Amino acid sequence: MATKKKSPVAKDAPPSGGKRAPPGKKANDPRDRATIDAIRDTAAGIRDMINKKKKPELKMPVRALSNVKYDPKKGFFEIGKDKKVRTLSVATVKTFAQTLKMMALSKELVTNDDFATKRDAYYQSKNWGDARFDEQSESDTVMDDIEALFSSNGVSREQLRYIPDQHGGAVAGELVVIDHDLDTGESIEIDCTRFGSGAYAVPSWVEHLKFRTKAKFILCIETQGMFQRLQSHKYWQKASCVLVSMGGVPTRACRRFVRLLSEQVSIPVYAFTDCDPYGFANIYRTLKVGSGNAAHINQFFCVPNVKYLGLTPQDIVDFDLGKATHPLAEIDMKRAFDALKNDPFFQSQKPWRDAIDQLMKMQKRAEQQALSLHGLNFVIDEYLPAKLKHVDKFLP
Amino acid sequence: MATKKKSPVAKDAPPSGGKRAPPGKKANDPRDRATIDAIRDTAAGIRDMINKKKKPELKMPVRALSNVKYDPKKGFFEIGKDKKVRTLSVATVKTFAQTLKMMALSKELVTNDDFATKRDAYYQSKNWGDARFDEQSESDTVMDDIEALFSSNGVSREQLRYIPDQHGGAVAGELVVIDHDLDTGESIEIDCTRFGSGAYAVPSWVEHLKFRTKAKFILCIETQGMFQRLQSHKYWQKASCVLVSMGGVPTRACRRFVRLLSEQVSIPVYAFTDCDPYGFANIYRTLKVGSGNAAHINQFFCVPNVKYLGLTPQDIVDFDLGKATHPLAEIDMKRAFDALKNDPFFQSQKPWRDAIDQLMKMQKRAEQQALSLHGLNFVIDEYLPAKLKHVDKFLP
């Protein structure tokens, strides 16, 4: 094949094959310029140390639960002050070089308005000579370090153009998403009311999206089945809202999407999950305050103003769902105890502690689709309207 | 709350709360009428047996690998002739009643142009008195039986309006999807060229969709990362195609979507996966011929005309990807052996047997993103164009 001769030449090919990004549109976005400045400043700092005959070093926040704090006012797990210093030495020279190469790749991606997954970056490194990664686990670690490093400048991994290899959930309702054509820069408007039974699939990275909406709130839904019901029956029209399908624990892209959307349009965000410890402590907690072992990114990914509209233990009583409940399994009990004993979020929120206590007393859990007990569209005709009359009662 | 008093009344609530489906639009679709006829005929047959003082019975195909055959001409795993007979008796009376109730629910769903997930159906059954299910596993089994039963009439579970609780993948490119408003019946056209970096999220069930396209082929992609690259850089425009993100092994809805699309627009379907036994035997094989233990549904869900454009062992040589390969793990070897020893599809396709032999000799696997070795957009600028020059060389 033609490429057979070609590929050797490609060994030090530029990331984007050198064919992208007409000069006109290089890093027009102010956040892109901020990202490039952050990279340039970090690199300049290293060069200065070298010029001053000092050993160059990079200071990165320690990524560990031991270096996490939770301030209810701020509303998310924050990375602490502990830093690890990577100084250039015989032992660290390879990692140090890899860190700089990955920063350089990031700068090139921003400049060319392109992006790379973890895997892409790993394979790219095979062209870095002695600085190449032998295992993807190595390049993932260096990428996590860079992410932590630049998080101190308020720059996220996605702004560095390293994107997750995962979808960002599905969206439908009273929302216009404003994207742009990556090749021409032309603006593209996506009307999320025009999808029929389908939806808008959120891309793997969302930093560049803008939004326009008249919706009253954003509803983040645990299961695709419930999302499909609310979407197909246009609940978003009846309630004037935006529906987001999280599909279990929301991905980075999904959480970032909801965060950006709620910031830009400043309307309330509600979460609708099953009434069980997984729905509370895994799905809702992650959406609201982020996760402990990735505290350096929570500033970008958590949605501190989200409130819990989902099924509560009291709902099982109020909506007569007893017939549709399941007994708590051992894993449920374990998750519930963990939440009460070890989770700073639940510990700081009495209404949540009470709800989890009630759940453990009842020894019952209920899935959101348990509402089908009273008719498939009971959730639309009765449950959600009744809940929305008492937003003040939503769990924090 | 209002609903507190209300819910007892709701005990025998109609599935859709009796508020849906204006008379005008009940079962207008010919396939919906066929579904209702199939249900009515089956029910009538049972009534006749009762009137004739015979024990009523239901004949369903046996759902087991032992009852599967593969005819390369037909191109998918077919269910065999073995039937299991469920006769009404003291022992079977509950299951028998549950089967009929679930058929009745299906008829109501079709009539009201509504749908239900497995979970919805399980919770609905709590209103069926003695015929209620105690465990969802029971209702799932009865639903599988019904699915097998009506598959003999060419009616799929989705046509019975029992939909999976899962997304259907993401789609972008030269395609207009024609859906309708479930409440008003109004037709809705979705232009999949207008999503920027996002995409069209395929709904959980797709029976009602129509399509319009000038594309030359449909490209089904294993990873979201690769899909995102081809979508963001509008590969679909350069190559005039439709991009489908399978996200690993394609879901029922995703496979059904590709099947319906390829039937309606009759253009080739190509699959682009990693070069490893999982990509070959799990993802591609499932897309093409379906799965052995669900043979009764493959007639609806497989895509017999799909061809394998994805990374082959020979591509690792031709595109000089050696530096970006990984050694075969034990699990890879096991999958490869299984494919050659136990899989009627690979056994019937010599080119596939040769490719798997070559893979095992090389003892190497490569991910589709390994192409990033030669530049992030090498896949767009070199690999795909080179492959598409030799469609005749695609694996069957």
Catalytic residue ranges of B: 123
List, for residues A368-380, the tens digit of each pLDDT value: 999 999 999 999 9
Domain boundaries, chain B: 19-163, 170-393
Which pLDDT belongs to residue A20? Answer: 47
Cβ-count burial A133-164 (b if 16+ within 10 Å, e if not):
beebebbeebbbbbbbbbbeeebbbbbbbbbb
Mean pLDDT of the B184-206 span:
94
The pLDDT assigned to A21 comes to 44
Per cent of chain B over pLDDT 90 is 70
**Right CATH number for B170-393 from 3.40.1360.10, 3.40.50.720, 3.20.20.10, 1.10.10.10?**
3.40.1360.10
pLDDT for B10: 40
Distance, in Å, from the CA atom of B392 to the CA atom of B396, rounded to the nearest integer, reads: 9
CB B74: neighbour CB atoms within 10 A?
14
pLDDT at B27 over 70: no
Chain A residues 105-124 with a CB less than 8 Å from chain B: 114-117, 119-120, 123-124
pLDDT score recorded for residue B332: 96
pLDDT for position A359: 97
Contact of B311 with chain A, judged by CB distance below 8 Å, is answered with no
Answer yes or no: is pLDDT of B20 > 60: no
pLDDT along chain A (396 residues), means of 10: 38 48 55 94 94 91 76 77 84 91 96 92 94 93 91 90 90 97 90 96 94 98 95 96 94 94 95 97 92 75 93 97 95 94 90 97 96 95 97 95
Q: Strand, coil or helix: what is B304?
A: coil
Q: How far, in Å, CA of B393 to CA of B203, rounded?
A: 34
- The per-residue pLDDT of chain B, averaged, comes to 89
Asked about A308 being catalytic, the answer comes back as no
Whether the domain at B19-163 and the domain at B170-393 fall into the same CATH topology: no
Best mutation site among B311, B373, B379, B380 for testing chain A: the one with the most A CBs within 10 Å? Answer: B373
> In the prediction, which pLDDT does A370 show?
95
Whether the predicted pLDDT of B196 surpasses 90: yes
According to the 3-state scheme, what is the secondary structure of chain A?
A: CHHHHHHHHHHHCCCCCCCCCCHHHCCCCHHHHHHHHHHHHHHHHHHHHHHCCCCCEEEEECCCHHHEEEECCCCEEEECCCEEEEECCCCCHHHHHHHHHHHHHHHHHHHCCCCEEHHHHHHHHHHCHHHCCCCHHHHHHHHHHHHHHHHCCCCCCCCCCEECCCCCCEEEECCEEEEECCCCCCEEEEECCCCCCCEEECCCCCCCCEEECCCCEEEEECCHHHHHHHHHCCHHHHHCEEEEECCCCCCHHHHHHHHHHHHHHCCCEEEECCECHHHHHHHHHHHHHCCHHHHHHHHHHCCCCEEECCCCHHHHHHCCCHHHCEECCHHHHHHHHHHHHHCHHHHCCHHHHHHHHHHHHHCEEECHHHHHHHCCCHHHHHHHHHHHCCHHHCEC
DSSP class of B57:
E
DSSP state of B73: T
- How far, in Å, are A235, B246, B281, B382 from residue B289 at the CA level? 38, 16, 11, 30
Q: Which residues of A fall within a CB distance of 8 Å from B371? A: 123
pLDDT of res. A293 = 66
pLDDT classification of B292: cutoffs 50, 70, 90: low
pLDDT at A27: 52
In tens, the pLDDT along B59-94 reads: 888 877 677 777 777 777 777 888 888 888 888 899
* Residue B293: predicted pLDDT: 66
Q: Compute the distance between CA of residue B328 and CA of residue B366 in angstroms, rounded to an integer.
A: 9
For B19, the closest of A4, A182, A377 (CB atoms) is: A377
- Closest to B201 (Cβ–Cβ): which among A7, A199, A208? A199
| Residue appearing with tokens 């992410």 | A147
Q: In the structure, what pLDDT confidence band is assigned to residue B18 with cuts at 50, 70 and 90?
A: very low
- What number does CATH give the domain B19-163? 1.10.10.10
The pairing of strands B83-87 and B76-79 is unpaired
* pLDDT per residue as tens digits for the range A214-264: 999 999 999 999 999 999 999 999 999 999 999 899 999 999 999 999 999
pTM of the model: 0.89
Q: How far, CA to CA in Å, does A231 sit from each of A347, B94, B146?
A: 35, 35, 27
For the CA atoms of A65, A70, A76, A80, what is the dihedral angle to 10 degrees? -50
Beta strands per DSSP E along B126-283: 162-163, 170-173, 176-180, 187-191, 199-201, 210-212, 217-221, 241-245, 269-272
CA distance A138 to chain B (A): 15
Inter-chain touch A369–B20, beta carbons under 8 Å: no
